Structure 1
Amino acid sequence: MPEPGLIVAPLTPFTEHLTVDEPALARQIDYIVKDCRATMIVAAGVETQEYTYLSFEERKNLIRRTIELTDRRVPVMVGISHASFRTAIALAHEAERLGAAAVQLLAPLRPFAGPPTQADLLAYFEAIGRETKLPITLYLNPGPGADVSIPDTIALAKLPQVQLIKESSRDLARVSRLIVEIDRAGHARYFTTMQMLLATLQLGGSGATMPPPGSEIARAVIDAFVAKDYERAAEIQLQFALFPSKWMHRGLAPAMKAAMNLIGVPAGEPYPPYAPLTHDEMTALAATLKSTVLAPRFKAAAA
């Protein structure tokens, strides 16, 4: 069985002029590669990366710079999600040109309303799969994308080019069934998220995907699990019980950017008009993070 995977989506730091802060992005990617020991990086793939605020050209530039700054230290997967399959294909071709290892594609909503049928979803992924040689990661996130049923998820996982799945659900019944029917059945590698990480590993899933600095906590969970120190793995997993959950009403991007800033890896502020955490919220977040494996970062940041 392959080692558990840790797929990390760098947050997008912005300058005061709302362009991508490339030095801050470079520092963050170094942290993700060296300290979190990510097995793969995602470029402009999930909404927490705030790529949806960018123009098409800015999005392509973010993808290019993420690949360049990663510098082949780990594979990079490129987000190509778009309501238009032609635009998604154009991004897939760009990913190929830049040397990406895979593409990530959100299961789309129907732009003319109503939930997509299984036939709609299969047609969308097949149309893109015919146009790219890269493996496809099926990204599942109701809200920005479709709420894909278990049977429809299994059907999509059986498509030859769908080789990975990013699952955003925290529903253990759904996750456990899909691990059995997709990952353990050999159709695709199934990745969950922070709160589901240890359960996923125990049930035979492939790992998790998330933004930093949750990824550093996740690395500690994975290392303990691989070392068969299951008590320690469970102890670290519980650090996700409060973080980032207590601050999720502010949104994942503001909460995770605040956490990164607190541990000394600047990630900037949320893209306006969304506000950063208040002073009191930052104080409470810092107190929680100091009780996690991130605690040594505070001493380093203060030094």
Structure 2
Amino acid sequence: MKVQWNGVYPALTTKFTADDQLDLDLFAHNLEAQLSGGVEGIILGGTLGESSVLEVDEKERLVKFAIEQVAGRVPVVLNIAEGSTREALKQAELGEKWGADGLMILPPMRYKSDHRETVTYFKTVANSTSLPMMIYNNPVDYKILVTLDMFEELTECDNIQAIKESTRDVSNVTRLINRFGDRYKILCGVDTLAMEELCLGAHGWVAGLVCAFPAETVAVYKLVKAGRLEEARQLYRWFLPLLELDIHPKLVQYIKLAEAEVGIGSEQVRPPRLPLIGAERERVLGTIREGLANRPELPELDAVAAH
């Protein structure tokens, strides 16, 4: 299925059972909630998906299961976050073999590559696959900034089509558009900056709290794109305390707690992560429950254009 890189793309959490196996039944339940909410693609094996602790056979099962469940309704994108070019090439090959529709790729993990190394890494992987790719630009968490000059060199690769913009600098959306026009699709990758970046021209939102609140996330996107900014502002103001759960080192635990609280997930994480306990859990749960207590009625969106 062709990836358009528009709209809301949830970075899905990976569901686990109490004995640390993939919980595909619960994954399917959450996936249906996302599709019912109006998302336009899904991303597997990202940071929220606990990619660093997933085994290759588990990624294969997730991708193939998701493709079967989605049944062509939206594209399925697989994340690549590897320390070596060799392993990234292998993951790209496997993703294509398993039937993924696209790839999201981070710069090399653990080693802080320079300009030439970063560009060479992305080009090498892009040239190895026919799948469309989105580059995940997150220097805050992963220490490598993909600069405008790097993106200039990467225009040579037709299948590098999109950017997950997570620099935390909303001005970068405008810089990218000024420099590249419509060459790249831009998707906001930071929940707390999503409305701002969509107003500046971002095409989509790679979202985190969507895992627990799909309808509200899609509503913010659609309202902004329809120019219904006051309605979007009111919804976003309600949403912001919840969205802030996405910008904490324990975002996986926080968002999984939210999923559990709304009935479309569980708190099970894979060690070394551990479920929240004590005062921290109560604090996060308080934020979630306050949001649920004041959950707004969503405006009519059937007639709102998606893009």
Bucket of the pairwise TM-score, normalised by the shorter protein: 0.7 to 0.9
Q: Which residue in 2 is equivalent to 1:229?
A: 228
Match of 1:130 among 95, 115, 127: 127
Distance 2:297 2:142 in 1: 30
User: 2:123–2:154: 8 Å Cα contact kept in structure 1?
Assistant: no
SS at match of 2:83: coil
Distance 1:58 1:70 in 2: 18
Query: Which amino acid counterpart does residue 186 of structure 1 have in structure 2?
Result: D
Gaps of 5+ in 1: 296-303
The aligned length equals 287
Distance 2:249 2:199 in 1: 31
Equivalence map 1:154-233=2 (5 Å): 154-156=152-154, 159-182=157-180, 185-193=181-189, 194-211=191-208, 212-233=211-232
Compared CA separation, residues 68 and 246, structure 1 to 2 (3 A)? closer
How far apart are residue 247 of structure 1 and its match?
A: 7.7
Distance 2:253 2:295 in 1: 19
Q: Which residue in 2 is equivalent to 1:301?
A: none
How far apart are residue 164 of structure 1 and its match?
A: 1.0
TM-score normalised over the length of structure 2? 0.84
How far apart are residue 17 of structure 1 and its match?
A: 1.5
Compared CA separation, residues 284 and 128, structure 1 to 2 (3 A)? closer
SS at match of 2:242: coil
Q: Which residue in 1 is equivalent to 2:98?
A: 98
SS at match of 1:47: coil
Does 2:50 correspond to 1:53? no
User: 2:81–2:106: 8 Å Cα contact kept in structure 1?
Assistant: yes
Compared CA separation, residues 97 and 136, structure 1 to 2 (3 A)? same
CA RMSD in angstroms comes to 2.5
How far apart are residue 239 of structure 1 and its match?
A: 3.1
Gaps of 5+ in 2: 299-307
Alpha-carbon displacement from aligned partner over 1:192-242 (angstroms, at most 9, x marks no partner): 132222222222221110131254322111222244321001111223431
How far apart are residue 10 of structure 1 and its match?
A: 1.4
How far apart are residue 189 of structure 1 and its match?
A: 0.3
Q: Which residue in 1 is equivalent to 2:290?
A: 287
Alpha-carbon displacement from aligned partner over 1:86-141 (angstroms, at most 9, x marks no partner): 22222222222232221111022463xxx322211111111112210111110122
SS at match of 2:206: strand
Off by >6 Å, runs of 4+ in structure 1? none
Query: Which amino acid counterpart does residue 152 of structure 1 have in structure 2?
Result: M
How far apart are residue 83 of structure 1 and its match?
A: 1.7
TM-score normalised over the length of structure 1? 0.85
Match of 1:12 among 2, 14, 21: 14
User: 1:248–1:255: 8 Å Cα contact kept in structure 2?
Assistant: no
Q: Which residue in 2 is equivalent to 1:39?
A: 40
How far apart are residue 161 of structure 1 and its match?
A: 1.9
How far apart are residue 280 of structure 1 and its match?
A: 2.0
User: 2:245–2:254: 8 Å Cα contact kept in structure 1?
Assistant: no
User: 1:80–1:89: 8 Å Cα contact kept in structure 2?
Assistant: no
Distance 2:72 2:218 in 1: 20
SS at match of 2:129: coil
User: 1:4–1:201: 8 Å Cα contact kept in structure 2?
Assistant: no
Greater shift after overlay, 61-70 or 10-19?
61-70
Compared CA separation, residues 247 and 69, structure 1 to 2 (3 A)? closer
